[in-house]
Amino acid sequence: MNTKDMFDHLAALFPDLELQLDEDVPCIIVPPDAIREVGLQLRDDEQLLLDSLMCLSGVDFADGTLGVVYHLHSMLHNHKLTVKVVVPVENPHVQTVERVWRTADWHEREAYDLIGVIFDGHRDLRRILNPYDWEGHPLRKDYEVPEFYNGMKVPY
């Protein structure tokens, strides 16, 4: 399926969602409380079969919104799709897709750890790269490095 066909197919599948067409990879924007449903559809749709989540990234857009970007790929059809979720920074709740693609398990933990997006329904949402008792989410654009961590001086 080429990009145009895929775009049309997506438009038919999700009439309510906002679609963008980049040069090579189509992109859909999904509301945070629908991502699980959409994810399941994307994964199981015969023509899409986006069974592999290449990457899940949390982004702080620095305009009062946080984002989660899903890069999907189909092993069988060898096509790609980008899915975006945008949430306000005050209420950064996104549905988890941990049970749709297992890759998302650790990536969501990472996005939670570094950006502070909270994935509702995740079974094990702990910090992953930072220590479990770290405060704040370092990849936020307004993040300030703490002076001390457990009595140790942080900025060196």
Partner 1 sequence: MSQTLEALQEDIAAGRLKTDELVLNMGPQHPSTHGVLRLELVLDGEAVVKVIPHLGYLHRCFEKHAEAMTYPQVIPYTDRMDYLAAMNNNHGYALAIERLMGIELPERVEYIRVIMAELQRIASHLVAIGTFGMDIGAFTPFLYCFRDREYILDIFERTCGARLLYNYMWVGGLSHDVHDGFEKDVRDFIKRFRPTIKEVNDLLNYNKIFIERTANIGVLPVDVAVSYGCSGPMLRGSGVDFDLRRDDPYSIYDRFDWQVCVGKGEAGTVGDCWDRHMVRVWEMEQSCNIIEQALETFPPGDITEAIPKRIRPPKGEIYTRVENPRGELGYYVISDGSANPFRVKARGPSFVNLSVIDEISRGHLIADIVAILGSIDIVLGEIDR
Does residue 102 belong to the site contacting partner 1 (CB under 8 A)?
yes
Task: Annotate each residue in 10-29 with x if it binds partner 1 (CB under 8 A) or - if it does not, as one string.
Answer: ---------------x----
Please enumerate in sequence order all residues whose Cβ is within 8 A of that of 137, keeping only pairs 6 or more positions apart, or say none.
Answer: 112, 113, 114, 115, 116, 143
Q: What does the block give as tokens for 16?
A: 């309510």
**Helix, strand or coil, per DSSP, at residue 101:** coil
Q: Minimum CB separation from partner 1 for residue 48, in Å?
A: 14
Count, residues near partner 1 per rule CB under 8 A: 29
Q: Which stretch binds partner 1 (CB under 8 A): 1-9, 32-40, 86-94, 129-137?
A: 129-137
Does residue 1 belong to the site contacting partner 1 (CB under 8 A)?
no
Does residue 77 belong to the site contacting partner 1 (CB under 8 A)?
no
Does residue 78 belong to the site contacting partner 1 (CB under 8 A)?
yes
Of the CA atoms within 13 Å of residue 50, those in its CB half-sphere come to 25
**What one-letter code names the amino acid at 107?**
H
DSSP label at residue 138: T
Q: Which stretch binds partner 1 (CB under 8 A): 1-9, 12-20, 99-107, 147-155?
A: 99-107
Segments in the chain forming alpha helices (H): 3-13, 35-44, 104-114
